[in-house]
Structure 1
Amino acid sequence: MPEENYEKDWDKYEQTIEQFVQVIAKNMNLYGITSSVGRLYGTLFFSEEPMTLDDMRDALEMSKTSMSTGVRTLADMKMVEPTFKRGIRKDLYQSEEDWYKSFTSLFGNRWRKHTESNIEEANEAIEELEKIYQNTDSLELKNKIEADIERLDYAKNYYHWLMKFIRVVESGEIFKYIPKNEK
């Protein structure tokens, strides 16, 4: 193969991979992740070897602090994991290859936190409305409070159902109903 074609092929390859990394980075906002952290994940995903923070910094031209923060974010979401390689003293990281595992962890963590908060807020609102109900002489306000407590109970029932769904996702039981696509 002539040298010119060889270089063109590699350039085209690098452009194609970079384009997909950009798509990953752009879509990470669905998970509450910045595009720079998404680019970091994409870089690790396509790396054939685990990378140090210095390797990541060089590849992405970002500060080591940004790399460290990004890796910590991705590790918390189980999208990146530390690894060991004999003879290398620096911390090494690699992407989690099981996107299903990453998704279930990320989905569970994010949705659980918000759903638990919503249940707590609904309980507090009901408690406060019940106090107002006990202390008011207004029949109109009492009727409004009764209707609103019914709405809040409906919301709580939904959130409790959502917690069941979150547990099904987190436990991996979801794959009984919606199997993973195998290669």
Structure 2
Amino acid sequence: MQGKDELEKARERVIDEISQNMNLYGVTPSVGRLWGLLYFQNHPMTLDEMKNELGMSKTSMSTSVRHLMDLNMVDKVWKKGNRKDLYVAEEDWYKTFVDFFSIKWRNSVADNVNAIDKSLTELNQLIESPGISEEMKSEIKSDIDKLHQALDYYEWLNRLIDSFESEEIFKYIPKRTEDHTNS
């Protein structure tokens, strides 16, 4: 079919770049390639079809699909007469980013706040310990102040995440909603 090679080349270029960009966020390039493959499909795909397209094992494919589902980037769909699980990519790039960003950053914030809380508890106990020199108390107080500044940052970051999840962010940075079908 005329144009098929050029179409595949154009798609592959974008899929390659997506897979590398997702790697920045801790998602393997193979999982990024899978999302790119699903994004450009005009129909749902089975694990076997994905496996054949990407040359991955069925186990690896299943794990990758689950990972994308956990990030809300892929959905399982039902099709009458088909007993195999079918999957499609979430095509709304804004929603994909918001979900991806929110899930990854919310977990990171929680982990960091837990570590800080634990350290603050220990430092507050340490500063009250008998025999602690004034020099050591000064260092501990400095660390406590730094950790409270970090907590302020994480509280701000949680509010930023909230603004993404509530879509309030789009009041300040609107989505582009132009029709690009004839571009």
TM-score when normalising by structure 1: 0.92
- Does 2:34 match 1:46? no
- Does 2:134 match 1:134? no
Percent of residue pairs identical? 47
Unaligned runs of 5+ in 2: 179-183
Structure-to-structure mapping, 1:83-94, within 5 angstroms: 83-94=77-88
Q: Secondary structure at the match of 1:87?
A: coil
RMSD: 1.2
Distance of 1:96 and 1:130 partners within structure 2: 47
Q: Secondary structure at the match of 1:132?
A: helix
CA deviation map 1:85-136 (0-9, x unaligned): 1111100000101111111111111111111111121111111111111113
Deviation at 1:31, TM superposition (A): 2.3
Unaligned runs of 5+ in 1: 1-5
> Given residue 156 of structure 2, which amino acid in structure 1 is its aligned partner?
W
Partner of 2:62: 68
* 1:33 aligned to which of 27, 47, 58: 27
Q: Secondary structure at the match of 2:128?
A: helix
> Given residue 125 of structure 1, which amino acid in structure 2 is its aligned partner?
S
Distance of 2:155 and 2:141 partners within structure 1: 21
Partner of 2:171: 176
Larger proportion of helix: 1
**Aligned residues between the structures:** 177
Distance of 2:20 and 2:83 partners within structure 1: 33
- Does 2:124 match 1:120? no
Distance of 1:146 and 1:125 partners within structure 2: 12
Moved >4 Å (runs of 4+): none
